Amino acid sequence: MSTPLSDQPPGIDENSAEYQSPDPVEAAQRIIAYVSAFGDGLVDKILDARLFARDLESVAQAISTARVEWGVRYPTKHFGIEVRPASSEDHACAWVAQLHDTEHCLNAHPDAEVVRRTVITSAWEPVR
């Protein structure tokens, strides 16, 4: 007996009320696999918008080189928000715990949180 295919990517709870995005690098790998199986040419056309296999492949190749950066976001004393980079998720978690402990001792409200972003870089290309 086979398991029915999910209509959502791996790691996404299809019963969740909250919208979730898949890991971008894993999504890029699925797109590359799809394009490899599909081949070259027009993938879809809706009204005047056309989507080509090479478009999907180009975007997926760029995303597949992405890296994750970690940081700590917290409010500043002048009502701003600041994000400081951390070397890893563990480092960011330890930093937030330390900030929460410090703020707790001062009877303040700790609002520091661990944040992450996906950074995509591409190769330098000549312009002329």
- To the question of pTM greater than 0.75 for the whole model, the response is no
Query: Over the stretch 62-73, which tens digit does the pLDDT of each residue have?
Result: 888 888 899 998
What pLDDT score was predicted for residue 109? 54
CA nearest 117: which of 12, 38, 23, 52?
A: 23
What pLDDT score was predicted for residue 50? 93
User: What share of the chain in percent tops pLDDT 70?
Assistant: 91
Cβ-Cβ contacts under 8 Å for 17 (sequence gap 6 or more): none
Query: Over the stretch 34-43, which tens digit does the pLDDT of each residue have?
Result: 998 988 999 9
- C-alpha to C-alpha distance for 35 and 55, rounded to whole angstroms: 10
Q: Where are the domains of the chain?
A: 24-63, 67-119
Query: Over the stretch 84-106, which tens digit does the pLDDT of each residue have?
Result: 999 999 999 999 888 888 776 66
Query: Over the stretch 1-17, which tens digit does the pLDDT of each residue have?
Result: 566 677 788 888 888 88
